[in-house]
Amino acid sequence: MSDYNQTKPSISIHQAQQIVDEWINTTGVRYFNELTNMAILTEEVGEVARIIARRYGEQSEKESDRNKDLGDELADVMWVVMCLANQTGVNLEEAFIRNMEKKSKRDATRHLNNPKLNP
C-alpha cells in the first residue's frame, strides 16, 4: 500500500479513491455498510456546517471551536464520499467530469443572466 504521507501533494480523484480503498481494506478492516456511511457523512457535513456558521456566519464562535480545522473537516466529508463511491462502484473522477460538462451546458448563461447575482 502506498503510504498516504508519501503520496504526491497533487493526486487525482481516482488515486484518492484508491488510497481510501487500500486504507479501508488494510487498516480499516472493511467498509461500514452504505447506510452507516450515509449517517457518518451527515455527521461530517454537520461538523463543517458548525465551523462555517460560527466562523463566517452570525453565530458566535465558542472557544472550543476556534482551533477546528475547516480543511480537515472538509477532507472528512471527502473521505466518506469516496467510501460511498467505492462501495457503490462510482468512479468519482469520471462522474465529476460528466457533471461539469452537464453544468457547463445547462448553466452556460443562467448565472450571467440572473439579476440577483448581477445587480
Q: At what angle do helices 13-26 and 92-106 cross, to 10 degrees?
A: 150
* pLDDT tens track, the chain, 119 positions: 455 566 567 999 999 999 999 999 999 999 999 999 999 999 999 999 999 999 999 999 888 888 999 999 999 999 999 999 999 999 999 999 999 999 999 988 888 889 998 87
Residue 86 neighbours by CB distance under 10 Å: 19
Query: For residue 50, what pLDDT is reported?
Result: 95
Q: Name the residue ranges covered by the structural domains of the chain.
A: 12-92
Tell me which architecture the domain covering 12-92 has in CATH.
Orthogonal Bundle (1.10)
What DSSP string runs through 27-51?
A: TS-SPPPHHHHHHHHHHHHHHHHHH
Query: For residue 4, what pLDDT is reported?
Result: 57
Q: What pTM value is reported for the model? A: 0.85
Query: For residue 1, what pLDDT is reported?
Result: 47
Query: For residue 62, what pLDDT is reported?
Result: 85
CA dist., res. 62 & res. 77, Å (int) = 22
